[in-house]
Amino acid sequence: MPGQGILSDLRIVEASAFVAAPLGGLTLAQMGADVIRIDPLGGGLDFDRWPMSPDDASLFWCGLNKAKRSVALNLADPEGREIAMSLISAPGEGAGLFVTNFPPRGWLDYDKLKARRADLIQLTLQGDHKGGSAVDYTVNARVGIPYVTGPVGYEAPVNHVLPAWDVATGHLVATGLLAAERHRSRTGQGQHVKLALEDVALSVMAHLGFIAEAQLGCARGRYGNDLFGAFGRDFVCSDGRRVIAIGLTLKQWNSLVEATGLAQAIDAIGARRGLDLVKEGDRFLARRELGTVIGDWIAARPFADVAASFDRAGVCWAPYQTIDELVGVDPACSVDNPLFDSVDQSGVGRVLVPRSALRFEAFEARAPGTAPALGEHTEAVLGEILGIDGAGYGRLCDRGVVCSPKRR
Amino acid sequence: MPGQGILSDLRIVEASAFVAAPLGGLTLAQMGADVIRIDPLGGGLDFDRWPMSPDDASLFWCGLNKAKRSVALNLADPEGREIAMSLISAPGEGAGLFVTNFPPRGWLDYDKLKARRADLIQLTLQGDHKGGSAVDYTVNARVGIPYVTGPVGYEAPVNHVLPAWDVATGHLVATGLLAAERHRSRTGQGQHVKLALEDVALSVMAHLGFIAEAQLGCARGRYGNDLFGAFGRDFVCSDGRRVIAIGLTLKQWNSLVEATGLAQAIDAIGARRGLDLVKEGDRFLARRELGTVIGDWIAARPFADVAASFDRAGVCWAPYQTIDELVGVDPACSVDNPLFDSVDQSGVGRVLVPRSALRFEAFEARAPGTAPALGEHTEAVLGEILGIDGAGYGRLCDRGVVCSPKRR
């Protein structure tokens, strides 16, 4: 799907499953790169990943593979693997980029591929730095986040629902490929780039101070919905609707005090506790008392009144929404937000589909793209990149190297 | 801090606070770019962000600003702002890159900066696509994740502790800057790149299928610690230690069945429920019964036995660890993992500091870098980039344009 876009001269081959590697490819595809995903006939490990549409299409797969081209090959057949290797190592200045989260063996082996194209860039996503396997859920359990998430006093771990480490890693895959391609365009040198999901999680835990905190002997506790180190939490309005209000910066805090008109009560809390509430950390220390007076104020008012007061004073706040509410009533999650198009996705129907969140002013906004049917582009890609003509393709089909019997 | 590294010919000026924009800069700095963070004298909004060290250094700030150079200016003074604009727009092929999460007004205004350097690349991180403000916590409340996180039957929202949207956005900042610089190096054209935190969250919610799922009328429920759409959850061993075990792919599932020796009981569940447990979705539908038999097996064994059985069969699993356990006993979170160095960070002490998780084979691993003292590099940077000599710097100091009185 080459065309307009800041990366439209790049071609990336992807052999992947699940979130991180496909999200890396998606990120580049939505910026205009020609991303060709290679799958086995019948689909890879993530082809039926839930959620599914009533017509049995994976909303997950469609979401993570839009704007890509799909090549399906019989990878159990040496001829299928040969074609895959030829696609990965095909010539072209903006080509020769490969991303995978499978073990880099067999047809995915960097050295073998490099023998075909010396300046190949391969990014291999691993579970851990030794090449062992790990998934978002196991990494999250290891790094300790589930024990600091959830209600105070709750004993069990709380898993995250958003695969945050996968998402963080997916975006870093895109960064890594662009950096390596930048280097190659200057020096002619390709390379193998490795990235471990576990390392991404560990490095972020360190960047945010969690690891140093524990090393200094005061590992993070479980603070429920309280924002650590400042003021911020959830509240319930008189009509049962919930809001989050934040006083992280002093400006945010002053807005919250102004909106609620509670300056006097809040000053009294500071005086009683001997805390200087101008300091964000002191607001955290006084979070219970502050939460009580602000919570009482909010609990006495319906959502609409709270929202109006908060907006008037410029409070940093938001309603808690269910995903249904997000989709049903939030204008940011609609075509009113230029992020979204309403797109007819085969097997799914008309749904909101986002384009790249990165808006490059020098380029028109691109269509977000739809997910391909499995193997939709096999014939075209084999023709275009490997020069396989219609007759040649027919013979591959007859030998079962291409053309999924399941999905024809 | 220029030197060896895949991006060592790039220079990025950063005016930022909190997580996403500083993480974008950090990501590039750890790949070798010279990242110069400009702060007001005395520090920006995030300079005292918790967690803090006993010596009153922000572990958060140190974590997110390592490997950068620090310039501190009196930005309330027109001369300070003039210096900031000169630094941002200074010439040089790899320079003229600017990232900010502040409103792009005044000295941060793209048009004013572009008038000084026509090919400037500015990436402005916004709260929402209209330029409004939003933070990770408010965005998360809006998109619905807190209502699907946490124990089944729990009524209130559960905030995430990891600022996942900030982290995802920070890595995308790095991607966006590299893509824009790639375009500039080919065309000479700079541009203003915009990225909204809210758009990143909305797009990921769509990529993962959450939004389409709700549009199709079956928004995600709250499934506690159960992995949606397949099998995976937390378990308690006989000694109270907890583990997560995953059967997402068929291979993972078969390993789990093999490790526990429960094939017969599990087949009986499939038969009784009329489900084909070879299908991941059917494992999700049978998750309660499967969880009970597997949970009973695990509950009858101490952690060491469970771990040994799981490892023998190649199960996808992990222990749940507290952050203290991660730091205290996990070899992945130690200098045994080449990700980490033990580094003496001023104001903090000796702590584990990660280098870039991206390993570029063509380059030696770089030192992770330490965080600068505030304004540590002001004199050097003003000399090197603007040609301000010692006498000129002294005059700026006398006029209070540089040299924080607080931190000298």
User: What pLDDT tens digit does each residue of chain A (408 aa) get?
Assistant: 334 899 999 999 999 999 999 999 999 999 999 999 999 999 999 999 999 999 999 999 999 999 999 999 999 999 999 999 999 999 999 999 999 999 999 999 999 999 999 999 999 999 999 999 999 999 999 999 999 999 999 999 999 999 999 999 999 999 999 999 999 999 999 999 999 999 999 999 999 999 999 999 999 999 999 999 999 999 999 999 999 999 999 999 999 999 999 999 999 999 999 999 999 999 999 999 999 999 999 999 999 999 999 999 999 999 999 999 999 999 999 999 999 999 999 999 999 999 999 999 999 999 999 999 999 999 999 999 999 999 999 999 999 999 854 443
Query: How many Å apart are CA A20 and CA A200, to the nearest integer?
Result: 11
Number of Cβ pairs closer than 8 Å across A and B? Answer: 490
Contact (Cβ atoms closer than 8 angstroms) between residue B29 and residue B355: no
Nearest residue, CB atoms, A323 vs list B148, B322, B323: B148
Shortest Cα–Cα distance, B5 to chain A (Å): 10
Nearest residue, CB atoms, A323 vs list B50, B220, B280: B220
Burial class (CB in 10 A: 0-12, 13-18, 19+), B286: buried
Would the CB atoms of B168 and A163 count as touching at under 8 Å? no
Q: Which residues of A are less than 8 Å from B354 in CB distance?
A: 199, 202-203, 206-207
Q: Which residues of B are less than 8 Å from A113 in CB distance?
A: none
Q: Which single residue is written with the structure tokens 């004013």? A: B112
**Rounded-to-10 torsion of CA A17, A21, A25, A28:** 160
Nearest residue, CB atoms, B214 vs list A134, A216, A327: A327
Q: Give A221-274 as a DSSP string.
A: ---TTSPTTSEEEEEE-TTS-EEEEEE-SHHHHHHHHHHHT-HHHHHHHHHHHT
Would the CB atoms of A141 and B319 count as touching at under 8 Å? yes
Contact (Cβ atoms closer than 8 angstroms) between residue B63 and residue A207: yes
Determine the longest span between alpha carbons in chain B, in angstroms.
86
- Secondary element (H or E) of residue A155: none
Shortest Cα–Cα distance, A394 to chain B (Å): 33
**Nearest-by-CA chain A residue for B119:** A362
The yes-or-no verdict on residue B248 having pLDDT over 90 is yes
Shortest Cα–Cα distance, B377 to chain A (Å): 21
**Rounded-to-10 torsion of CA B35, B36, B40, B44:** 10
pLDDT at A161: 98
Q: Which residues of A are less than 8 Å from B240 in CB distance?
A: none
Contact (Cβ atoms closer than 8 angstroms) between residue B193 and residue A359: yes
Looking at chain B, the whole-number percentage of residues with pLDDT higher than 90 is 98
Would the CB atoms of B154 and A151 count as touching at under 8 Å? yes
**Nearest-by-CA chain B residue for A204:** B167
Would the CB atoms of B161 and A284 count as touching at under 8 Å? no
Q: Which two tokens stand for residue A63?
A: 């979401």
- At residue A38, the 3 state secondary structure works out as strand
Would residue B166 show up in a list of annotated catalytic residues for this protein? Answer: yes
Shortest Cα–Cα distance, A141 to chain B (Å): 5
Active-site option among B166, B276, B296, B330: B166
Query: How many Å apart are CA B323 and CA A147, to the nearest integer?
Result: 8
- At residue B341, the 3 state secondary structure works out as strand
Angle between helices A250-260 and A287-299 (to 10 degrees): 40
Domain B11-206+351-398: CATH class, spelled out: alpha beta
Catalytic positions of A are 166
Contacts of A313 (CB under 8 A, 6+ apart): A255, A256, A258, A259
Would the CB atoms of B207 and A134 count as touching at under 8 Å? no
Q: Which residues of A are less than 8 Å from B154 in CB distance?
A: 151
Cross-strand partners of B37: B14, B70
Cis peptide upstream of residue B151 (ω within 30 degrees of 0)? no
Shortest Cα–Cα distance, A393 to chain B (Å): 32
Task: Of B155, B102, B161, give the one whose Cα is nearest residue B137.
Answer: B161
pLDDT, one tens digit per residue, over B183-221 is 999 999 999 999 999 999 999 999 999 999 999 999 999
Would the CB atoms of B7 and A179 count as touching at under 8 Å? yes
Query: How many Å apart are CA A109 and CA B151, to the nearest integer?
Result: 43
pLDDT at A3: 46
Nearest residue, CB atoms, B175 vs list A178, A211, A229: A178
For A260-403, where are the E strands, in sequence order? 316-319, 340-345, 349-354, 359-360
Q: Angle at the Cα of A183 (from A182 to A187), degrees rounded to 5? A: 125
Query: How many Å apart are CA A71 and CA B152, to the nearest integer?
Result: 41
ipTM above 0.85, yes or no: yes
Task: Of A330, A389, A203, A156, give the one whose Cα is nearest residue B154.
Answer: A156
For B59-151, where are the E strands, in sequence order? 69-73, 97-100, 121-126
pLDDT at B406: 47
pLDDT at B404: 57
The domains of chain A are located at 11-206+351-398, 242-319
Would the CB atoms of A360 and B160 count as touching at under 8 Å? no
pLDDT at A235: 98
Nearest residue, CB atoms, B156 vs list A138, A234, A318: A234
Residue B262 CB neighbours (<10 A): 18
pLDDT, one tens digit per residue, over B93-134 is 999 999 999 999 999 999 999 999 999 999 999 999 999 999
Q: Which residues of B are less than 8 Å from A54 in CB distance?
A: 216
The yes-or-no verdict on residue B171 having pLDDT over 90 is yes
pLDDT at B400: 95
Shortest Cα–Cα distance, B392 to chain A (Å): 35
Would the CB atoms of B171 and A175 count as touching at under 8 Å? yes
pLDDT at A345: 96
**Nearest-by-CA chain B residue for A66:** B207
In order of A51, A385, B60, B212, the CA distances from A25 in angstroms are: 21, 19, 31, 20
**Nearest-by-CA chain B residue for A343:** B212
Contacts 24+ apart (CB under 8 A), A389-397: A396/A79, A396/A83
Would the CB atoms of B209 and A58 count as touching at under 8 Å? yes
Shortest Cα–Cα distance, B192 to chain A (Å): 6
pLDDT at A404: 57
pLDDT at B337: 98
Q: Which residues of A are less than 8 Å from B352 in CB distance?
A: 206, 211-212, 215
- pLDDT tier, B234 (very low <50, low <70, confident <90, very high otherwise): very high
Nearest residue, CB atoms, A208 vs list B60, B208, B328: B60
Q: Which of B53, B161, B222, B364 to mutate to test the interface with A (most CBs of A within 10 A)?
A: B161
Query: How many Å apart are CA A74 and CA B6, to the nearest integer?
Result: 37
Would the CB atoms of A234 and B159 count as touching at under 8 Å? yes
Task: Of A161, A52, A133, A21, give the one whose Cα is nearest residue B227.
Answer: A161
Would the CB atoms of B326 and A353 count as touching at under 8 Å? no
Would the CB atoms of A211 and B351 count as touching at under 8 Å? yes
Query: How many Å apart are CA A224 and CA B172, to the nearest integer?
Result: 29
Would the CB atoms of A162 and B145 count as touching at under 8 Å? yes
- pLDDT tier, B403 (very low <50, low <70, confident <90, very high otherwise): confident
